[in-house]
């Protein structure tokens, strides 16, 4: 079974193909230019074309990485949601009472009636109650109960409130906090930096001087690769914390320490 970081890698591997084809074409052009042996005028014309290609490549590269970044952060959010739902369904009896999950008598009667008629196992009953919990949480209009994984502090609070899973403050979590701000600006503000972005990135001391209100967010290969690595660190840490807590989740691998024979 894959670990969470491996699962994230698998889910996002197609994103890199967006860049690979473009890098390949660009590399072929530049390689061919270096090996050409033709007259000076043609070489000069090709060098001018190279400058144009370099300029366009930079623009297209930034646009591609911005789109890839949106897909990457979206994949991270989706995996966090899947982990949360998995934990609810497979560990219903261990949900913390502080989560405040409440059911009506009618809802419980319907689930218990199904168990009696179909002779459900305890695991199946837990899954049914978990399903109902998911529906209630995601339909809730109460901000406290609303489930949203587009914010680091909210993610930490949700995992702690429901399962006692505590993500410690870290450099990589601060970086992920900034990624959510970048994603919000790219999707909802055409990549334009506003006061909200500046305020939120300053909170984790990751605001850069070049990020002024009205300027445009630029996603480079370096920043995209950094984001990938930091999300991998998050999922690796979650994998470890869930294993240590004794909770079950079919998305999460069992740690080596738990599987080694004495």
DSSP H helices, 91-170, are: 105-118, 122-139, 152-163
Average pLDDT along the chain: 80
Q: How far apart are CA 220 and CA 224, in angstroms?
A: 6
User: At CB < 8 A and 24+ separation, what contacts does 74-78 make?
Assistant: 74/183, 75/8, 75/11, 75/12, 75/15, 76/8, 76/149, 76/176, 76/231, 76/234, 77/149, 77/150, 78/11
The pLDDT of residue 215 is above 50? yes
The owner of tokens 């587009």 is: 150
On whether residue 104 sits in a domain, the answer given is no
- Helix then strand then coil, in percent of the chain rounded to 5, is 70, 0, 25
On whether residue 101 sits in a domain, the answer given is no
User: What are 126-179's pLDDT values in tens digits?
Assistant: 788 888 888 877 776 765 566 889 889 999 999 998 899 999 999 999 999 999
On whether residue 128 sits in a domain, the answer given is no
What is the pLDDT, as a whole number, of residue 217?
A: 92
On whether residue 106 sits in a domain, the answer given is no
224-225-231 Cα angle (round to 5)? 90
Percent of the residues in the chain that have a pLDDT greater than 70, as a whole number: 72
User: What are 21-56's pLDDT values in tens digits?
Assistant: 656 655 655 666 666 555 566 666 666 665 665 555
Phi, psi of 146 (to 5 degrees): -65, 135
Average pLDDT estimate for 195-213 = 91
Domain of residue 55, residue span: 4-79+151-251
Q: How far is residue 22 from each of residues 19, 57, 61, 163, measured CA to CA in Å?
A: 5, 9, 8, 44
On whether residue 109 sits in a domain, the answer given is no
Contact 175, 212 (CB under 8 A): no
The pLDDT of residue 62 is above 80? no
3-state secondary structure of 211: coil
On whether residue 118 sits in a domain, the answer given is no
Number of domains in the chain: 1
What is the pLDDT, as a whole number, of residue 179?
A: 96
On whether residue 39 sits in a domain, the answer given is yes
On whether residue 89 sits in a domain, the answer given is no
């Amino acid at each position: 079974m894959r670990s969470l970081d491996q699962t994230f890698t698998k889910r996002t591997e197609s994103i890199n193909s967006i860049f690979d084809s473009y890098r390949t074409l660009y590399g072929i052009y530049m390689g061919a230019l270096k090996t050409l042996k033709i007259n000076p005028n043609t070489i000069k014309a090709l060098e001018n074309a190279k400058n144009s290609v370099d300029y366009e490549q930079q623009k297209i590269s930034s646009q591609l990485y911005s789109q890839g970044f949106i897909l990457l952060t979206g994949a991270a959010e989706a995996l966090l949601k899947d982990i949360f739902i998995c934990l609810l369904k497979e560990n219903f009896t261990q949900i913390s009472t502080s989560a405040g999950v409440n059911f009506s008598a009618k809802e419980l009667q319907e689930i218990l009636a199904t168990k009696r008629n179909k002779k459900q196992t305890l695991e199946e009953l837990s899954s049914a109650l978990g399903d109902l919990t998911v529906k209630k949480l995601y339909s809730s209009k109460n901000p406290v109960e609303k489930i949203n994984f587009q914010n680091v502090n909210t993610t930490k609070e949700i995992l702690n409130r429901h399962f006692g899973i505590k993500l410690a403050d870290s450099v990589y979590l601060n970086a992920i906090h900034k990624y959510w701000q970048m994603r919000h600006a790219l999707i909802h503000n055409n990549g334009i930096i506003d006061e909200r972005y500046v305020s939120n990135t300053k909170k984790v001391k990751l605001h850069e001087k070049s990020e002024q209100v009205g300027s445009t967010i630029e996603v480079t290969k370096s920043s995209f690769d950094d984001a990938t690595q930091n999300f991998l660190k998050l999922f690796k840490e979650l994998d470890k914390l869930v294993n240590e807590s004794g909770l079950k989740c079919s998305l999460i691998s069992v740690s080596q320490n738990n599987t080694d024979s004495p």
